[in-house]
Amino acid sequence: MAPRIEVAAHAGVCYGVERALGLAEKAAGTAPAPVRTLGPLIHNPLVVAELADRGVTLAESLDGADAGSVVIRAHGVVPEVIEDARARGLSVIDATCPYVKRVHAAAERLVSQGFQLIVVGEGGHPEVEGIMGHADGRARVVSRPGDLDGIELERRVGVVVQTTQTLDALDAVVTELLRRADEVHVVNTICSATQERQAAARELAARADVMVVVGGRNSGNTRRLAQICAESGTATHHIESADELRAAWFTGAALIGVTAGASTPAAHIERAVAAIERLSGASDGTR
């Protein structure tokens, strides 16, 4: 009997990414040229290459964008970057995800209320760096409870979280903070789309014989999906392109599960599913 393919109930591009892509594609035809994204628009190398083919190229910093327009990526930036871009005479298209802007607002509010800010997330991640820029120098980043050991905590601590983190990671840090601080004010800024994708991936991985996770390896939310699937005990393969798929992965599988990160367009998922069908002789049970 041929195996069956099932795509997770929630998988692939989220609203913030879809909005950012739409703004970048529109800018390619309407904004002052040349049009560049300030850093990768989203964490998906294939999409970044596709944008370049449409005339939206990449600048790693404002020094690489001496004229024309810059598109602020979905992860956001520190406020000074936008001010600097405008001071240089550049046209600014702000594609920051609205959910990320919600984190910025929460960080500013907590700091203004006198809380020491803890950001639960990946140090050095562009989104986290942007959040830090809205905290008036009063924020520290932690990814796990042990990271708190090197921080001198104040009496009142506020917490926000990178939008693509897991609830488990947030819960673990907050539980430890409650042991150490007198007052802990938590704003759960995990994006609802992230939570939906993680729950759907976990549910499908529990039933599948093998999982394929589609999306950029530099995408934190995609890596977390792969981690969630692997932790279920199911053989899990994280790919960026359908070309990476191997027939041997599907030998003996009855159900092949597919999920994808929030920076993965539907067309990329469809290409992966079609390739799995060819390699495994499977039928796509989701169509």
d(CA 251, CA 163): 36
Given this model, what pLDDT does residue 136 score?
A: 87
Given this model, what pLDDT does residue 283 score?
A: 64
The CA dihedral of 103, 107, 109, 113, to the nearest 10 degrees, is: 150
Helix (H, G, I), strand (E, B) or coil at 36: strand
pLDDT tens string 83-134: 999 999 999 999 999 999 999 999 999 999 999 999 999 999 999 999 999 9
State the pairing for strand pair 116-120/139-142. Answer: parallel
Structure tokens at 268: 């990329």
- Smallest Cα–Cα separation from 21: which of 255, 263, 250? 263
Strand partners, 239: 214
d(CA 200, CA 196): 6
Q: Are the beta carbons of 202 and 262 closer than 8 angstroms?
A: no
Given this model, what pLDDT does residue 285 score?
A: 53
What DSSP element (H or E) covers 158? strand 156-161
The Cα-based distances of 220 to 21, 79, 131 in angstroms read 18, 23, 16
Helix (H, G, I), strand (E, B) or coil at 63: helix
Task: Work out the end-to-end distance of the chain between its first and last CA atoms, rounded to an integer number of angstroms.
Answer: 18
Which DSSP state fits 1?
Answer: -
Structure tokens at 58: 């990449």
d(CA 157, CA 190): 18
Low-confidence ranges of the chain (pLDDT < 70): 283-287
Given this model, what pLDDT does residue 43 score?
A: 92
Helix (H, G, I), strand (E, B) or coil at 41: coil
Q: Are the beta carbons of 272 and 245 closer than 8 angstroms?
A: yes
Structure tokens at 155: 């009496």
Q: Are the beta carbons of 208 and 6 closer than 8 angstroms?
A: yes
Given this model, what pLDDT does residue 1 score?
A: 72
Residue 176 annotated to the active site: no
Given this model, what pLDDT does residue 287 score?
A: 37
d(CA 10, CA 89): 41
Structure tokens at 212: 């394929």
Of the candidates 6, 83, 122, 127, the residue annotated as catalytic is 127
The CA dihedral of 83, 86, 91, 96, to the nearest 10 degrees, is: 0
pTM, full prediction? 0.86
Backbone angles phi, psi at 210, to 5 degrees: -150, 145
